[in-house]
Amino acid sequence: MLDRTRPTSFLVLAACVATATPYYAHAQQVTSRMEDRLVAAGFEVKPANTPDRQDMLSRLPPRKFVRRVQGDDVAYVYADPKNCACLFIGTQDAYGAYRRQEQAERLADEEQAYADARWDWAAWGPWGRPWSRFRFGYGW
């Protein structure tokens, strides 16, 4: 009797790999960009290059910020056990710089998304103080 499940299994596996590969590449690119932003904001990279560090890294939530307060000092920790097997450690200032940079990139992305050369803002009439009265529930 012929075993017909193997070719089918192989095709299913090949289809899964082909489908997942672009997603994985995109996820890698997003993660790499985030790590670059963390370093640019002032976070320090600490590799998990010993068994003790690897154990501690595995206890932190992956790819999430953890706030650590010790006396008057506030530190933010970001664990990446999968891509770089490292810990990013930053001060309150570094965390603030990261968030400002993230917000600026998001606003730039939104502006780019809504940029359309064919759009004619003048067709919608004047933009200015008259619009504020509608926001507060009176007008028309």
Round the average pLDDT of the chain to a whole number and report it.
Answer: 79
- 59 inside domain: yes
Residue 122 has pLDDT above 70, yes or no: yes
- 135 inside domain: no
- 48 inside domain: yes
How far is residue 39's CA from residue 48's CA, in Å, rounded to a whole number? 17
Give me the phi and psi of 46, to 5 degrees please: -120, 110
Residue 126 vs residue 29, higher pLDDT? 126
Strand order in 44-47's β-sheet? 44-47, 86-91, 73-80, 65-70
CB 87 within 8 A of CB 46: yes
Domain span at residue 69 reads 13-103
Q: Please state, for a pLDDT cut of 90, what percent of the chain lies above it.
A: 49
User: Which residue shows structure tokens 């299994």?
Assistant: 9
Q: Average of pLDDT values for 54-77?
A: 95
- Whether pTM > 0.85 for this model: the answer is no
- 4 inside domain: no
How far is residue 90's CA from residue 131's CA, in Å, rounded to a whole number? 43
How far is residue 93's CA from residue 74's CA, in Å, rounded to a whole number? 9
- 121 inside domain: no
- 133 inside domain: no
- 114 inside domain: no
What is the domain count for the chain? 1
- 132 inside domain: no
Predicted confidence at residue 10, as pLDDT, reads 47
